[in-house]
Amino acid sequence: MQNYVRGEILAERYEVIEEIGKGGMASVFKAKDIYTKTIVAVKVISLDIVTKPVGQERFEIEKEAFAKLGSSPYVVKLFDVIQSGSEWLIILENIDGGTLKDKYQQFGAMTLSEIKYYFPKLCDALELAHKLGIIHRDIKPDNVLLTKSGQVKLSDFGISVMEGFNSELEKAIGTPKYMPPEIIAAQKPTPQSDIYSLGIMLYEFATGIAPFIHKEPKKIAIKHINDLPTYPRLINPSIPQSLENIILKMIEKEPRNRYTSVAEVKRDILKIKSTDIVKQYNYHNKASISTGQRVKKVRVGTYYSKLPFVAKNRFSILLSLFILAFIIAFVSVLVFV
């Protein structure tokens, strides 16, 4: 893939201002349309990527997803797709306010009012995508762009699931920190898969920390399948109980126990009040995870909760035995002395 510098012209129309992103399959440049004088983002994909089966499919999925979702104010807009020499260019709306990840790293956990501002809009974007048969599969703060006025724009549909594209349908791909158990188990994603990832984001933004963390991505994936998330209010007691309940339902291990749609998530988020008095949600402690042709029964919990009774209560048992021995010795002294 060719490197472009400031001032170079792409496709005889787009003057490069600067590179704003680079990945394994593409580079993204901020550029000026010399005809309309507008600023755009140009995603450059080299021919050797597009000619590979996986690269070709991801390219087709991304441009089709952007095109289908053009009516949403909360999705990055597609302007054009151009072949220029040996490269393909995807011309997109330029969003220059950073990402939700940038905002989180700068300011930390969100307030309730911020959550009620950002997350319903993401629900709207995903609701339209799901109605059109598109599963994003990579919902994370990095893929939520912000305009300078604070509007959210969902981006990066390269590994999305869409009808007619099947080569990566049942692959464990995505970002481990936000991946649902069924995708980790290489199962077909559903709208509930996006709900799970959005729930992990909501947990992180409400508490200031993700529910499952580890230095090794594989260990994070295992935690998504096996571990019980710490209830958010134990980390941030200022969270309303109703918000904690929403988060826990979104990140249930089994898709059938989550919300049936992002519209329901949006409805419940907008209903949250800081003074809510509601019953605590009971997170399911058992789950069935499909792995190929097998269904794996999982007992969800913490490392401590999964210990055998004796191991978990070793101190109490030893203390009881010590007290019992002391009482026997004391009684023996009274009787025989």
Residue 139: name the closest of 67, 186, 184, 193 by CA. 193
Task: Let me know: does 168 contact 57? Beta carbons within 8 Å.
Answer: yes
Rounded to whole angstroms, the Cα distance separating 148 from 336 reads 87
Tokens of 243: 């918000």
Helices of type H across the chain: 47-50, 53-68, 100-107, 112-131, 181-184, 191-207, 217-226, 232-235, 241-250, 262-271, 309-312, 314-336
Known binding positions: 43
Task: Let me know: does 208 contact 118? Beta carbons within 8 Å.
Answer: no
Q: Which residue among the candidates 138, 156, 194, 227 is catalytic per the annotation? A: 138
Q: Is 138 a catalytic residue?
A: yes
Q: Which helix (H) or strand (E) holds 255?
A: none
Neighbours of 299 (CB within 10 A): 11
Tokens of 97: 């306010």
Phi, psi of 258 (to 5 degrees): -90, 180
- The percent helix, strand, coil of the chain (3-state, each to 5) is 40, 20, 40
Rounded to whole angstroms, the Cα distance separating 86 from 194 reads 34
Task: Let me know: does 257 contact 284? Beta carbons within 8 Å.
Answer: yes
Tokens of 153: 């724009």
Known binding positions for ATP: 43
Rounded to whole angstroms, the Cα distance separating 256 from 273 reads 27
Q: What is the DSSP letter of 176?
A: G
Number of helical H runs and strand E runs in the chain:
12, 10
Active site residues: 138
